[in-house]
Amino acid sequence: MAALAALCPVKAAAEVLSRPARRRGKELEQAIFEAALDQLTSGGFARLTMEGVAGAARTGKAALYRRWASKVELVIDALDSTLPRPSDTPDLGSTRSELLLLIEGFTAAMGSRAGAAMNALMSELDHEQAELFKDFITRRVIEPTKGTILDILRRGAGRGDVRPGAATPLVADVAPAMLMYRVKTCGREIGANFAVELVDEVMMPLIRA
């Protein structure tokens, strides 16, 4: 009995050490975001719950509600933190090369965990629900992409491989609109060759000098 009693503290210590460490701060926030995106991708927005996210992130529901008042706010923050931010495209000496670089980056983002979650979100939401996320998607994805396209077209016009007057907001709408159409309306995945097809079959004939 004495030997067994002596082993008890060792067993108790082993059990404590084997428990997952309690995550805090940025580590906990990242775990919550990953859980939210995973649940959004696998079950959709309607089935996503704060309780489910808390359980998957191994934290309490109160920890979520201290940061986010609703699952809408949580999903928006999870997407915002994970989606790559559009950046300026370097001068590659060719408008085609620059557009291809930008759109390939966009399609890669759509194939990421955050992109898959956003695809699931967009394909599921009806018009009323979509209004909750429209401003975020426009501000975070569409407008920065359009701005970069306009910069590329203006630079191309300066070097002579884009026709004068092609750098307009309407022309800059075409690539993001095609991408969103493919995902939202057609419900189709963006294939490996989509960026090349979009640039060569749509954008270049539209802007070529």
Q: Which amino acid is at 10?
A: V
Average pLDDT over residues 142-149: 91
pLDDT band at 197 (very low <50, low <70, confident <90, very high): very high
pLDDT digits (tens, 9 = 90+) for 95-109: 999 999 999 888 888
What architecture does CATH give domain 21-81? Orthogonal Bundle (1.10)
- Of 52, 61, 150, 36, which is closest to residue 99 (Cα–Cα)? 150
- What tokens were used for 197? 């097809």
CB–CB of 79/117 below 8 Å?
Answer: yes
- Of 165, 168, 162, which is closest to residue 150 (Cα–Cα)? 168
- CATH topology match: 21-81 vs 86-207: no
Q: Which residue in the block uniquely carries the two structure tokens 């931010």?
A: 85
Average pLDDT over residues 165-174: 96
pLDDT band at 1 (very low <50, low <70, confident <90, very high): very low
- What tokens were used for 57? 């992130």
Give residue limits of the domains in the chain.
Answer: 21-81, 86-207
pLDDT digits (tens, 9 = 90+) for 36-89: 999 998 888 888 999 999 999 999 999 999 999 999 999 999 999 888 776 678
What architecture does CATH give domain 86-207? Orthogonal Bundle (1.10)
